[in-house]
Amino acid sequence: MSLVCAICNEVPEHPCVSPVSNQVFERRLIEKYIAENGTDPMNGQPLSEEQLIDIKVSHPIRPKAPSATSIPAILKSLQDEWDAVMLHSFTLRQQLQTTRQELSHALYQHDAACRVIARLTKEVTAAREALATLKPQAGLVAPQAIAASQPTAVGAGGEPMEINEQVGMTPEIIQKLQDKATILTTERKKRGKTVPEDLVRAEDLGKYHQVASHVGLHSASVPGILALDLCPSDTSKVLTGTLFLFRSGSLKLMFLEFGVKSFLSLCLFLPSQSVVFSASPDSTIRVWSVTGGNCVQVVRAHEAGVTGLSLHATGDYLLSSSEDQYWAFSDIQTGRVLTKVTDESAGCALTCAQFHPDGLIFGTGTADSQIKIWDLKERTNVANFPGHSGPVTSIAFSENGYYLATGAQDSSLKLWDLRKLKNFKTITLDNNYEVKSLVFDQSGTYLAVGGSDIRVYICKQWSEVLNFTDHTGLVTGVSFGDNARFLSSAGMDRSLKFYSL
């Protein structure tokens, strides 16, 4: 049943009822009538707006006007609605086209801005390199000339000269590094296809035992042997932490020491020349003559203890890392620091450093458990390997150039794939195991771990083939002989040991 207004005889939008006549009215019309007459329009009795009673109904559907009930009127109504929809659609298409043009213009501006930023960045990098090159040319020409003519220059008191100026990475040096890397990459790929015929097999390596032990070689005033290195060109020569030199074949002491007073944390052979390098917590890097037994050069690249040394494949440059958060790249011939870089965003001490076999990248470990991979030519950090939960103590690149082994104070050993930049193997060691040294053999077949004991793993399977517990202190250095024919180790018990069949 529909309500009909007694005045207009149409369905009211806001219906109300008069208590005087009990008739339904459109509120708008009855209020206007009451305002003019003050009575009910049906019976003339007095009526006020307050007396009107609203009727609560759902939204009423007004009947169509009589003019809209014919077929032509309905068709016209539909045509009007269609025209309105088409007009609205046309307006939306215009707005869409305008928005697309604005978006295209914004993308063009963004692309142009990126190109400008890239060009400016390239110009800034070129300007910095040019500035780094011009500075030493302007202020260090004379010292460089002196160093070239007197590579072992000494001061008035007979002490070696201390050289610590930063010279800069010249285009000639960068080209030299690139040429060497190209040669090494080609050779490495050829070697990687076959295993050396003279390499000791895994089943024979598992039969190794201790064949010699030298105890008490170092003074009790130092905290043990902290470093070990074999001469790459003659592995019969062994270098230990306070610069004792042995011939491992006869196991005889060649000469006692070079005369350094403080203990050394790192040592390194230069195979092409009769010199060795050493580093100590006093922040110095020293070059020693094997034949003369004296220090011929001191390089001051750092302001805190040196934590890592690595020789570049050219044999002309030395990488060092330090607790001062910097790594340095130095020229061995002149003793000058070519470049010195730090990751300012990290603000953390470097704990170790090692060159990749190709020499264009290298890795550093940090005290906050990060492994950082650096591009030497650009001096930039190109990759980070998180995963350890303690300070990184040692890193080692495999000879094939694909694998990186890292150890830390979280009693774990991690293997990383440099091609995929991810950790593909984690070896969990015993509780409280301390990793102090990692080294691959020259073929990249075996990995030796030194720390709470000595362990040797066969690569690819990463299964343990050897475990020696002969040292009574932490093992700080391990190294393989030619084709893994023997294994040498040194530790905090001030002993040097050799293992073979």
Q: Are residues 301 and 433 in the same domain?
A: yes
Which of these, 355, 436, 422, 361, lies nearest to 391 by C-alpha position? 436
| Boundary of a domain, candidates 46, 61, 76 | 61
Q: Is the pTM of this model over 0.75?
A: no
Domain presence at residue 131: no
| Spatial distance between the Cα atoms of 353 and 406, rounded to a whole number of angstroms | 11
Residue 494 pLDDT exceeds 90: no
| Spatial distance between the Cα atoms of 464 and 31, rounded to a whole number of angstroms | 101
Domain presence at residue 405: yes
- Three-state DSSP at 401 gives coil
Domain presence at residue 119: no
Percentage of the chain beyond pLDDT 70 is: 81
Domain presence at residue 84: no
Farthest-apart Cα atoms in the chain, separation: 139
pLDDT score, position 154: 39
* DSSP-assigned letter for residue 64: P
Residue 364 belongs to what domain range?
171-191+198-500
Residue 20 pLDDT exceeds 70: yes
pLDDT score, position 485: 85
| Boundary of a domain, candidates 61, 92, 107 | 61
CATH (domain of 39): 3.30.40.10
Whether residue 213 contacts residue 470, with contact meaning beta carbons closer than 8 Å, is answered with yes
Domain presence at residue 76: no
Q: Are residues 57 and 178 in the same domain?
A: no
Q: Which of 130-139, 258-267, 357-366, 491-500 has the highest mean pLDDT?
A: 357-366
| Spatial distance between the Cα atoms of 17 and 204, rounded to a whole number of angstroms | 112
Number of domains in the chain: 2
pLDDT range class, residue 17, cuts 50, 70, 90: very high
pLDDT range class, residue 256, cuts 50, 70, 90: very low
Q: Are residues 54 and 183 in the same domain?
A: no
Domain presence at residue 250: yes
Q: Is 269 left (phi over 0), alpha (psi -120 to 50) or beta?
A: beta
Q: Classify each residue of 182-209 as buried b or exposed e, where b means 16 or more C-beta atoms within 10 Å of its C-beta.
A: eebeeebeeeeeeeeeebbebeebeebe
Q: Are residues 36 and 177 in the same domain?
A: no
| Boundary of a domain, candidates 37, 61, 85 | 61
Q: Are residues 186 and 51 in the same domain?
A: no
CATH (domain of 465): 2.130.10.10
Residue 52 pLDDT exceeds 90: yes
pLDDT score, position 65: 62
pLDDT score, position 161: 38
80-130 pLDDT tens trace? 899 999 999 999 999 999 999 999 999 999 999 999 999 999 989 888 877
Domain presence at residue 183: yes
Residue 223 pLDDT exceeds 80: no
Poorest-pLDDT segment among 52-61, 152-161, 303-312 = 152-161
Domain presence at residue 46: yes
